[in-house]
Amino acid sequence: MAIKKVDKGYYLDARPWGKNGKRIQRTFPTKGEAQRYLNHIVHQAEEKPWKQTKEDKRRLQTIVDRWYDLHGQTYTQPERTKNKLDAIVIALKNPIAEQLLPQDYTEWRGKRLTSGISPKTTNNELTLLKGVYNKLIEIGDITYINPIAKVQKIKLQQTELSFLTHDDIKVLFKAIESARHTDLEVVTKICLSTGARISEACNLQGANVIKSGNTYKLTFTKTKGKKNRTVPINKSLYDAIPKKSGPLFTDCRKAFERAIDRSDIQLPKGQCTHVMRHTFASHFMMNGGNILVLQQILGHAKIEQTMVYAHFSPSHLDDAIRLNPLNNKCN
């Protein structure tokens, strides 16, 4: 078994099952990657000496299709996700999936960035393609290591999440008055009152509106985190919501974007439909809300997601004044 330096990187030529066993030949961009793969196949040969798996010659499109059949259909927007993956496959020229090199992927990503695609979008693409390999490895459909496992996301500059002030909210509702979409006003009130995504509010069913004595609640299903969550609301909002079975609203995301345009409220690119969620969270913290409670309301799986709103708390980081070394001089 040998690893040799060649023009395109490091060439691995190995027979981990012995001289009469399967021969593995691959080229890696770095010696470290070649060595890690060699260690992997040697370990596999030791653990499963009877299993000389045939080289997997399936192309990237084939494993994407396989992933979709076995798992991808469970996504919230499966067809949209599949279309994104298909576009990646075409851009990468549909290589043999096992032989996709990290350097090939990063070179393609670099061209994407040069063409004006945002780093955030390229990070999402990387996560998506890595997930295809990882899921098929998890269920045993793929026996080799993820070829792009070591490709890192691009570090992003954290941007400030925009939110609406009280005056902005008044201007927004004034713009909504002229909207043709009859559901827009109450959907906007639901989002501002609960921190729901606009898609979650639009997907509400009659059974999701709960009244128990003097308590009123909304249960959001089909959420991004795939977990239902229930948020209390006041009576006035409850009274404004239609009382019927089945779907309560139709999609009004475009109508909301048009209302924002009419209001002349300036928002950062990409934050239009999420601004109501950000507004709820920001005002919640500014009014003294608890960050752990906010995590539950928003349905964040990790507290790190919610911590982006922590600085809105009136007392956030006040200990920097009380506990700094100049304010606590040694005697």
9 sits in the region (left: phi over 0; alpha: psi -120 to 50; else beta) called left
- Whether 224 is catalytic is yes
Q: Which residues contact 41 (CB under 8 A, 6 or more apart)?
A: 14, 16, 24
Q: In whole angstroms, what is the distance from residue 71 CA to residue 131 CA?
A: 10
Q: Which of 10, 144, 216, 309 is catalytic?
A: 309
Phi and psi at 12, nearest 5°, equal: -105, 130
Q: In whole angstroms, what is the distance from residue 195 CA to residue 183 CA?
A: 17
Q: Are strands 229-233 and 9-14 parallel, antiparallel or unpaired?
A: unpaired
Neighbours of 308 (CB within 10 A): 16
- 162 DSSP assignment: P
By the 8 A CB rule, do 197 and 271 touch?
A: no
Q: Which amino acid is at 72?
A: G
Helix (H) or strand (E) holding 220, with range, is strand 215-220
Q: Which of 224, 235, 243, 311 is catalytic?
A: 224
- Whether 274 is catalytic is yes
Structure tokens at 200: 């979650």
By the 8 A CB rule, do 220 and 231 touch?
A: yes
Closest residue by Cα to residue 247 from 204, 309, 198: 204
Q: Which of 15, 36, 262, 274 is catalytic?
A: 274
Neighbours of 94 (CB within 10 A): 16
**6-43 burial by CB neighbour count: b if 16+ within 10 A, else e?**
eeebbbbebbbbeeeebebebbbbeeebbeebbeebee
Q: What is the DSSP string of 26-68?
A: EEESSHHHHHHHHHHHHHHHHH-TT--PPP---BHHHHHHHHH
Q: Which of 66, 181, 189, 277 is catalytic?
A: 277
Q: Which of 197, 258, 278, 283 is catalytic?
A: 197
Q: Which residues are the active-site residues?
A: 197, 224, 274, 277, 300, 309
